[in-house]
Structure 1
Amino acid sequence: MAADIKHTAQTFEASAVMRLLPARPRLLALGEPTHGEDTLLDLRNELFRQLVEQEGFRTIAIESDCLRGLVVDDYVTSGRGTLDGVMERGFSHGWGASAANRELVRWMRAHNDRRPVSERVRFAGFDGPVEITGAASPRQALTALHDYLADRVNADLLPCTADTLDRLLGADDRWTDPAAMMNPSASVGQSVQARELRLLADDLAALLDAQAPHLRTPAASRDDLDRARQYGRTAVGLLRYHFWMADTSPGRMARMVGLRDQMMADSLLAVAERGPALVHAHNAHLQRAKSTMRMGGLPVEWWSAGALVSALLGREYAFLATALGTLRHRGVDTPPPDAVEGLLYALPDHRYVVDASRLATALGDTRPAARVSPWYGYAPLDPEHLAGLDGIVFVKDVPRA
């Protein structure tokens, strides 16, 4: 069996990845089993550079705040701002401190310098403005959408004034109270003001769609319209998310994690309109199988962004799951030999891409063991998910940064 498994592995490079796929994807998703390891982000950067230079990819989308990501996109496409400022303001989850993310932004800006618009690479965050401890105020998204429409359509068509939005929104810290994540009574998401804002956000987003012939004229900026659509999706999604933060039913947490991935999926579908893109996030957000986790000691299940997008794009969505051998500085030691990671760990190379379907064939009736992680921040590859993978990127050892 070892020889058969060896034949499923190839050198990690863009050309090998593309040969695994049944069709050229609009979205090529690269998952990771843990966050915060620059070794895995360096690998992502290398793949993206090769995809740009060899395969004509033009966008990278990462698991970061979609609105903050606009700051990064402005910098890499036009040089607006400074690298230090972009790293501070353009990323969520603390990922602006990553050396690998900094190198990605630096390379993209250098690549775009003096290139025509059609050849420039773009950056997108595709996560909603939510953290595990709470969610942002909908102010930025709502007011930006209102401002865009107020400048372009008849005032009589607007469902409200900017002053009305400001009054209903109130102080931003009402929305961002971290206690609301575990205590529904601390959330304002089902207040009278929040319910009215949900209706107004829906009306503003609908007006944006209804005015599409006027807003899509050749003289209009496609980037401005795309951003307005992002503001609309985010405003509607955030208000829906806040509503369920205030819910007290048993399905509250499943609703919230599912809504987050639905927001992600909507952003990814918008990214796909630009042409081929590399997507990077946790495996749990990109896999086709149902995602699971434990929160507050209870199991939570939801359909990931990848599952939602795959259902719509079919073969134009491809997913590579990253698996790793060791993460010793986190207590993750050599994998058991009967786990998928253990079988791949026995191969000689440090990193490679594996044909998942050929691996499943090589395993035959053998059922690999499910690896158990001693550290909560690392999610091993689920052997039951092999059939839903287009490939596996395997990294033998991830050292401390």
Structure 2
Amino acid sequence: MVTDLTHTAQAVRSSAVMKLFPARPRLLALGEPTHREETLLDLRNELFRQLVEEEGYRTIALESDCVRGLMVDDYVTSGTGSLDAVMERGFSHDWGASAANRELVRWMRDYNIRADTDGRPASDRLRFAGFDGPLEMTHAASPRRALTALHAHLTAHLDPGLLPCTADTLDRLLGDDDRWTEPAAMMDPARSAGQSPDAAQLRLLADEMAALLDRQAPHPLAATAREDGERAHLYGRTALGLLRYHHWMADASPARMSQLVGVRDQMMAHNLLALAERGPTLVHAHNAHLQRPKSSMRMGGSPLEWWSAGALVNTRLGDGYAFLATAIGSLHHQGVGAPSPDTLEGLLSALPEDRYVIDAPRLAAALGDTRPVPRVSPWFGYAPLDPAHLGDIDGIVFVDDVPPRR
């Protein structure tokens, strides 16, 4: 069995990854089975460097706030702000505290400085994107920033009479931001403002402004860079997504949590499809957000199922979307010991080296009718790879041992 599996495995390099596909994917998604492990993030960074230097990738998209990520993109493309500032304010979910993320941003900025020195065009610069919504585990952001930024863009370039409302009207309907970010609303729908009359009116106005932006696409917006238009569309997507999310936060039906996780991944998918239009992009997030089969989890003792961002994008891009799932052997500092030999991770741990890119279809063929048993994690923060999903994965990045965070 191990000899057969060896033929499916290569060292983790961009060249080995590209051999898995008939053509370069527009979105190459690299999933992870757990968050905040610097070893996995360092591996991501190295793979991205190789994809940039050898395969022409120019954008990386992380599971972080898409609006905050604009600050990081400004820094890596033009040096706006400081590295300390963008690490503090340009990431959500506390990702800015990661040493590997800091190194990624620093390297991207250095690469772009070299690009300027070499006289390469701006289109050759590296770009950064967050593709998650402005959401945290305890609350969702106010739609104020996205709505007012979209309104300001339209006001600056169009006849104000075309807009459905004034900035003062938006401000009045939005009210105090605390009403939107109330932490208690995550568990108590009655504490959410998401189905108030003001929220309903804002949702209609957001839809009208986003539609106006689309209708005016041929308009010769004088001195408007392509990036300005991309950002305006991002603000429109974000405003509508946040208002949908707040709507379901205020819902008391049994479908509430499933709707919330589904809306989140829908926001992710819309952002990824926009990035695919820009050019080849490496996407990094949890496996559950990138896989093709339905995702599932338990929350409050209840099972939840939803279609992930990867599943949604895959239906639109087909071969333009590719998914590499990261699997790990042991995570001793979190109580996850060596895997049982009859699990998928156990079979891969028997290979002679510590890290591999595995051709998933060839692995499935090598296993034949003998399928590994599902691994059960003793720690809630780690999700083992489901062997039933093997046929829906393009490749596996396997790391045998993940040491403690440095």
TM range, smaller chain: over 0.9
- Identity, % of aligned positions: 73
What is the alpha-carbon distance in structure 1 between the residues aligned to residue 260 and residue 102 of structure 2? 31
1:127 aligns with 132
Aligned position for 1:172: 177
Which of 172, 179, 182 matches 2:187?
Answer: 182
Shift in CA distance, 350/20, structure 1 to aligned 2, threshold 3 Å? same
Which residue, 327, 331, 351 being the options, matches 1:327? 331
Q: Does 1:102 align with 2:102?
A: yes
The amino acid across from 2:377 in the alignment is S
How many residue pairs are counted as aligned between the two chains?
Answer: 400
Compute the displacement of 1:125 (Å).
0.1
2:17 aligns with: 17
Kept after mapping to 2: 8 A contact 1:369/1:383: yes
State the distance in 2 between where 1:53 and 1:2 align.
Answer: 33
1:2: Cα distance to partner? 1.5
Deviation at 1:220, TM superposition (A): 2.5
Look up the match of 1:145: 150
Tell me if structure 2 keeps the 8 A contact 1:290–1:304.
Answer: yes
Matched, 1:76 2:61: no
Give the counterpart letter for 2:65 in structure 1. D
Aligned positions of 1:2-81 closer than 5 A = 2-81=2-81
CA drift of 1:21 comes to 1.3
Shift of 1:273: 0.6
- Checking the alignment, whether the CA contact within 8 Å between 1:283 and 1:322 is kept in structure 2 is yes
Contact 1:215–1:225 (8 Å) recurs in 2: no
TM-score by length of 2: 0.98
Question: In structure 2, how many angstroms separate the alpha carbons of the residues matched to 1:101 and 1:195?
Answer: 38
- Shift of the 215–289 alpha-carbon distance from structure 1 to 2, 3 Å rule, reads farther
Whole-Å Cα distance in 2 between the matches of residues 288 and 132 of structure 1? 24
* Equivalent-residue separation in structure 2 for 1:354 and 1:41 (angstroms): 19
DSSP 3-state at the match of 2:104: helix
Equivalent residues of 2:157, 2:221 under 8 A apart: no
Q: Per-residue deviation at 1:283?
A: 0.1
In structure 2, C-alpha distance between the alignment counterparts of 1:215 and 1:187, rounded to whole Å: 41
Q: What is the rounded CA distance, in whole Å, between the counterparts of 1:212 and 1:316 in structure 2?
A: 25
SS of match in other structure, 1:175? helix
**CA distance, structure 2, for counterparts of residue 210 and residue 30 of structure 1:** 35
1:288 counterpart letter in structure 2: R
Equivalent residues of 2:147, 2:235 under 8 A apart: yes
Asked whether 1:136 is paired with 2:141, we answer yes
RMSD after superposition: 0.8
1:375 is paired with a residue whose SS is: coil
Provide the rounded CA distance (Å) in 1 between the counterparts of 2:221 and 2:126: 22
Off by >3 Å, runs of 4+ in structure 1:
none
2:162 aligns with 157
Task: Say which of 203, 209, 213 aligns to 1:208.
Answer: 213
TM-score using structure 1 length: 0.99
The SS at the match of 1:220 is coil
Residue ranges of structure 1 left out of the alignment (5+ in a row): none
Deviation, structure 1 residue 43: 0.4
For the residues of structure 2 that align with 1:249 and 1:71, how far apart are their CA atoms?
Answer: 37
* 1:81-103 deviation digits (Å, cap 9, x = unpaired): 00000000100000100000000
Q: Is the 8 A contact 1:61 1:123 kept in 2?
A: yes
Asked whether the equivalents of residues 31 and 280 of structure 1 are also in contact (C-alpha less than 8 Å), the reply is yes
- CA contact under 8 A between 1:326 and 1:332: conserved in structure 2? yes
Name the aligned partner's letter for residue 361 of structure 1.
Answer: A
Work out the CA distance in 2 between the residues paired with 1:199 and 1:162: 15
Question: 1 CA distance for matches of 2:385 and 2:269?
Answer: 22
CA distance in 2, matches of 1:73, 1:155: 30
Distance 1:11 1:296 in 2: 40
Question: Does 2:304 match 1:300?
Answer: yes
Q: 2: CA distance between counterparts of 1:109 and 1:27? A: 22
For 1:388, give the aligned amino acid. Answer: D
8 Å Cα contact 2:330-2:339 kept in structure 1:
yes
Aligned partners of 2:342 and 2:138: how far apart in 1?
A: 37
| CA displacement at 1:280 relative to structure 2 | 0.2
Aligned AA for 2:58?
Answer: R
| Aligned 8 A contact 1:216 1:222 in 2 | no
Q: How does 1:363-374 map to 2 (within 5 A)?
A: 363-374=367-378
Q: 1: distance between equivalents of 2:267 and 2:168?
A: 27
Question: Are 2:122 and 1:117 aligned?
Answer: yes
